[in-house]
Amino acid sequence: MHPRMWTCLDRSGLKVQPGGFYVDPARVVSTAVVTHGHADHARAGHTTVVATPETHALMRARYGAKYCERAVELRLHESLTLGEVEITFYPAGHVMGSAQVQLNYRGSRLAVSGDYKRGGGDPTCADYEPVPCDVFLTEATFAYPLFRFPNPEWELERLLQSMLQFADRAHLLEVYSLGKAQRLIAMLRAAGWQHPLYAHSSILAINEVYENFGVDLGEVRPLAEFRQMENRERAALLLNPPHVQLPLQANPDGRMLYCSASGWNAVRKHARSRRVDLPLVVSDHCDWDELRQSIHATGASEVWVTHGPADSLREWAKESTDLRVLDLKEVWNA
C-alpha cells in the first residue's frame, strides 16, 4: 500500500491516520511525533509527545515542564507501535537528539527526515544514517544546485585566523541558540580554543541541556559579564542569536567584528546585505550534493519535499533518475 493511502496533510501537518498521530505538527494535537527541538518542529501544548530523551529535555528547557501532558521517550534505533504503525527513530545528524522517523504500516515504509545533516563531524550529536524506505519525505532548505558547503573545520580556521589578525577586536558570532552554537563551541574546543567564551542567555540555557547529556562545552560565560567588564578582553569571542539585537553598550567604540555562521552565507550577497564582516558557511542542513546522496541512499522510489523548494530536485530527478519528486502539498492531488 502506498504511503499516500495512509497519510494525509491537514492544517496541523502530516497526519498518519492508522497511527492517529502527526509528525512535527504545526498546531496543537493529541499525539505528536517530534523529530527535533527546533521551534518550527517542536511546539508546546500537545497531549502526548513522542521524541528522543534529548529532544524532550530541550523542549522542557525551552517551554517549561508543562510543554505536554505525557512525554514518551523513544531512543535512536528503537521502535514503538502507535495504533497500527510501527515507528523507528534513526539519527539525523542535525542537532542533539534529532531523529528521522521511519513509519511502517503493513510493510509500506515512509521515512520522515525532519531536518538532517549528512557527513558527520558534529561532536554534539549522532551521525546521520540513511533510512530504508519506499517513500522519503525530505526537508529541502538548501535544495538549489548552487549550495555546496565547505568543510566546517576550514570555516572555523577562518574565524581563528581573523581573531589573530584582529586581535584588538571582539568577534561577535551570530549563531542559532540551539544546535549551531553548541556545535561551534565544541568544534572550537576541539581546535584547542581554551579561552572563555561569552554567550547570550538563550544559548547558555541550551548549553546546560547539552552538558547534562555529557557534551563538554567548557567555560561559557554570560554575555552580560562581557558588557560589564572594565577592561574588556579585546580578543573575546561572543555568541549571540541572530534575532537578538546587542545593546549599544556592548560595543561602545564600534570596534566589534561581526561574524555569522549559516548555510545562507554561501550566497555572498546575502551575507553582505546583513552587514557581516566575516560570513562563515556552516550549516546543520544538507547542501545540494548531500541531499541527492541522501535520497539515493534511502532506496526510495518516490520523494516528497517539504521545508524548501522542490523545483530543482524535480528537474534533477527527471533528468537523471527514475525517482518521482513531489512537493508535499501536491502529494494528495497528484
Q: Measured from the CB of residue 88, what is the shortest distance to another protein in angstroms? A: 25
CB atoms within 10 A of CB 164: 8
Task: Give the interface segment with another protein, choosing from 72-80, 182-190, 262-270, 323-331 (CB under 8 A).
Answer: 262-270
Q: Measured from the CB of residue 296, what is the shortest distance to another protein in angstroms? A: 12
Task: List the one residue from 27, 106, 148, 234 that touches another protein (CB under 8 A).
Answer: 148
Residue numbers 264-293 binding another protein by CB under 8 A: 266-279, 281, 287, 289-290, 293
Q: Put the strands of the sheet holding 85-91 in their side by side order.
A: 79-82, 85-91, 99-105, 108-112, 135-139, 302-306, 324-327
Task: Give the interface segment with another protein, choosing from 94-102, 173-181, 210-218, 260-268 (CB under 8 A).
Answer: 260-268
Q: Measured from the CB of residue 285, what is the shortest distance to another protein in angstroms? A: 14
Q: Is 31 helix (H, G, I), strand (E, B) or coil?
A: strand
Distance of alpha carbon 85 from alpha carbon 89, whole angstroms: 13
Residue numbers 234-253 binding another protein by CB under 8 A: 245, 248
Q: Of 289, 307, 284, whose CA–CA distance to 93 is shortest?
A: 284
303 in contact with another protein (CB under 8 A): no
Q: Measured from the CB of residue 311, what is the shortest distance to another protein in angstroms? A: 6
Distance of alpha carbon 286 from alpha carbon 82, whole angstroms: 30
157 in contact with another protein (CB under 8 A): yes
Q: Measured from the CB of residue 326, what is the shortest distance to another protein in angstroms? A: 17
Binding mask 84-123 for another protein (x = CB under 8 A): -----------------------------------xxx--
**Residues in Cβ contact with 153 at an 8 Å cutoff, skipping those fewer than 6 apart:** 121, 187, 191
Pick between residue 87 and residue 276 the one whose CB is nearest to another protein: 276
**Long-range contacts of residues 19-24, Cβ cutoff 8 Å, at least 24 apart:** 19/82, 19/83, 19/84, 19/85, 19/87, 19/103, 19/105, 20/82, 20/83, 21/48, 21/50, 21/82, 21/83, 21/85, 23/101, 23/103, 23/112, 24/112, 24/114
Q: Put the strands of the sheet holding 70-73 in their side by side order.
A: 7-10, 13-16, 21-23, 31-33, 48-51, 70-73
Q: Measured from the CB of residue 290, what is the shortest distance to another protein in angstroms? A: 6
Pick between residue 60 and residue 189 the one whose CB is nearest to another protein: 189
145 in contact with another protein (CB under 8 A): yes
Q: Measured from the CB of residue 287, what is the shortest distance to another protein in angstroms? A: 8
> What is the grid cell recorded at 245?
539585537
Contact residues for another protein, defined by CB under 8 A: 119-121, 144-146, 148-151, 154-155, 157-158, 165-166, 245, 248, 254-255, 257-258, 266-279, 281, 287, 289-290, 293, 309, 311-312, 315, 319
